[in-house]
């Protein structure tokens, strides 16, 4: 792939989701992407930025909520105003990624954008970057390119991508055609997907010419498309706020998978680079246990500076957001998340049920801790 093509590449980081299954660590005011969940010293959004920067330089746009402006800039002080897109309210991924596409297209219609969620853990970075290079080379041939993740277990938590034949693209030796995106399967189906070898996890990574993204968006979500284009036309002008305030609140909420990826795949416009890096979306506290080694002396994975943990016949995960002493006695695979105003005690097996607790607290009016 010529370096010319990489010059057209612009990263986009949608930083939206709260990460409800990581409550009470993640919450509306401190969503998942603002935490260091791997003990690396970097928050997830900082690590996402640092993974892309060697490919893009400072051409990385972040789309996030107005409320997170200060926190995001604290994490990414090099982010110039031009590359910070603030949503006045959340509108799901089609609007967020679509707005980035529209603004980038307005500025330079030759741009190839690459959208990568702010809250994933990936390594080694060099392997990821090589996959992105192949994706950019493939996108330059007029494809929407996703980077699929080789499944390691029959997960029912992810959507899948069905690959069809191998493509023959200069600079992208591993590029595959994509037959379809399929929704999160049940357990039996997930096992079949895993066994077939043709299904990869959909990690929501999309690399594509902005024009192609917008064309599919226009076809499947014309109302959203028209609104986003009007906002984008005003974006770099003095009337940005006024136009945004008028149009954004009424835009339809939908996912980029429905609005672009699935119809584009049906049209034969999608390709895939299989990612052979390790990948984790840190979906719950069990993931924290996977991603962080347990202390050999205590069998406990501890996250949090200054944590003071005593363990006796215990194992599991402690996330400490306080300076309190935490004593764990006689519980296996426990999950304890200790924050100043809320405490979670569960097990790794029940880590997915945290979402239900958050929904219950919301319904009960305990919104001060959400």
Nearer to a copy of itself by C-beta: 53 or 331?
Answer: 331
Closest approach, Cβ 279 to a copy of itself, in A, equals: 26
Q: CA-CA distance, 257 to 259, in Å (whole number)?
A: 6
Cβ–Cβ under 8 Å, residues 120 and 159 = no
Q: Which is nearer to a copy of itself, 262 or 338 (CB)?
A: 338
The distance of closest approach from Cβ of residue 305 to a copy of itself in the complex, given in angstroms and rounded to an integer, is 17
Helix (H, G, I), strand (E, B) or coil at 280: strand
Nearer to a copy of itself, 184 or 360 (CB): 360
The residues, any chain, with a CB within 8 Å of residue 53's CB and separated by 6 or more, are 11, 60
Rounded to the nearest 10°, the torsion over CA 369, 320, 352, 202 is: 100
Residue 334 CB, nearest approach to a copy of itself (Å)? 7
Q: How far is the CB of 336 from a copy of itself (least distance, A)?
A: 6
Nearer to a copy of itself, 177 or 357 (CB): 357
Choice between 138 and 346, CB closer to a copy of itself: 346
Taking the C-alpha atoms of residue 129 and residue 119, their distance in angstroms, rounded to an integer, is 17
Four-residue CA torsion sign, 190, 192, 195, 201: negative
Instruction: Confirm if 179 and 166 have CB atoms less than 8 A apart.
Output: no
Minimal distance, residue 291 CB to a copy of itself, in Å: 21
42 or 322: CB nearest a copy of itself = 322
Rounded (10°) angle between helices 222-235 and 240-247: 160
CA–CA separation, 109 and 55 (whole Å): 19
Cβ neighbours around 306 below 10 Å, total? 9
Q: Give one word for 208, left, alpha or beta, with left for phi > 0 and alpha for psi -120 to 50.
A: beta
Alpha-carbon span 355 to 171, nearest angstrom: 42
- Contact set with a copy of itself (CB under 8 A): 24, 308, 310, 312-313, 323-331, 334, 336, 338, 340-347, 349-350, 353-354, 356-357, 360-361, 364, 366, 369
Structure tokens at 99: 């707005």
**Smallest gap from residue 354 Cβ to a copy of itself (A):** 7
Min dist. Cβ of residue 330 to a copy of itself (A)? 3
The residue assigned the tokens 């499947």 is 220
Query: Which CB atom, from 153 or from 329, has the smaller least distance to a copy of itself?
Result: 329
Query: Is 192 or 323 the residue whose CB approaches a copy of itself more closely?
Result: 323
* Bridge partners of residue 114, in order along the sequence: 11, 207
For the packed helices 92-107 and 222-235, what is the interaxial angle rounded to 10 degrees?
Answer: 50
Q: Which residues contact 126 (CB under 8 A, 6 or more apart)?
A: none
Q: How far is the CB of 309 from a copy of itself (least distance, A)?
A: 10
**Judging by DSSP bridges, how do beta strands 160-166 and 176-182 pair with one another?**
antiparallel
Which residue reads 């991603």 in tokens?
A: 291
Q: For a copy of itself, which is the closer residue by CB, 2 or 353?
A: 353
The token duo for 249 is: 């609140």
Q: Least distance (Å) from a copy of itself to the CB of residue 341?
A: 6
Shortest Cβ distance from residue 35 to a copy of itself (Å)?
18
Give whichever of 253 and 360 is closer to a copy of itself, judged by the CB atom. Answer: 360
């Amino acid at each position: 792939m010529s370096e010319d093509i990489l010059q057209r590449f612009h990263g986009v980081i949608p930083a939206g989701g709260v990460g409800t299954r990581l409550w009470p660590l993640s919450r509306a005011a401190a969503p998942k992407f603002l935490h260091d969940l791997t003990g690396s010293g970097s928050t997830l959004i900082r690590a996402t930025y640092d993974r892309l920067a060697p490919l893009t330089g400072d051409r990385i746009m972040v789309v996030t909520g107005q409320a997170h402006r200060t926190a995001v800039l604290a994490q990414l002080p090099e982010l110039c105003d031009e590359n910070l897109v603030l949503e006045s309210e959340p509108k799901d991924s089609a609007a967020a990624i679509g707005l980035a596409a529209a603004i980038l297209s307005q500025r330079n219609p030759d741009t190839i954008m690459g959208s990568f969620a702010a809250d994933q853990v990936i390594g080694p970075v060099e392997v990821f970057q090589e996959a992105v290079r192949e994706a950019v080379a493939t996108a330059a041939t007029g494809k929407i390119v996703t980077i699929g993740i080789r499944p390691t277990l029959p997960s029912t938590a992810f959507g899948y991508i069905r690959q069809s034949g191998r493509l023959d693209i200069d600079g992208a030796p591993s590029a595959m055609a994509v037959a379809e995106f399929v929704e999160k399967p049940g357990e039996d189906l997930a096992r079949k997907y895993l066994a077939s070898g043709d299904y990869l996890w959909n990690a929501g990574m999309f690399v594509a010419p902005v024009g192609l993204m917008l064309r599919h968006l226009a076809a499947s979500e014309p109302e959203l498309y028209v609104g986003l284009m009007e906002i984008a036309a005003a974006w770099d002008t003095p009337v940005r706020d006024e136009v945004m305030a008028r149009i954004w609140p009424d835009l339809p909420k939908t996912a980029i998978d429905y609005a672009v990826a699935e119809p584009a795949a049906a049209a034969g416009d999608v390709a895939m680079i299989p990612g052979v890096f390790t990948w984790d979306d840190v979906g719950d506290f069990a993931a924290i246990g996977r991603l962080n080694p347990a202390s050999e002396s205590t069998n406990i994975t501890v996250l949090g500076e200054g944590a003071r943990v005593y363990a006796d016949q215990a194992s599991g995960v402690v996330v400490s957001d306080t300076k309190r002493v935490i004593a764990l006695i006689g519980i296996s695979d426990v999950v304890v998340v200790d924050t100043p105003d809320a405490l979670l005690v569960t097990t790794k097996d029940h880590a997915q049920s945290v979402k239900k607790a958050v929904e219950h607290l919301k319904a009960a009016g305990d919104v001060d801790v959400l």
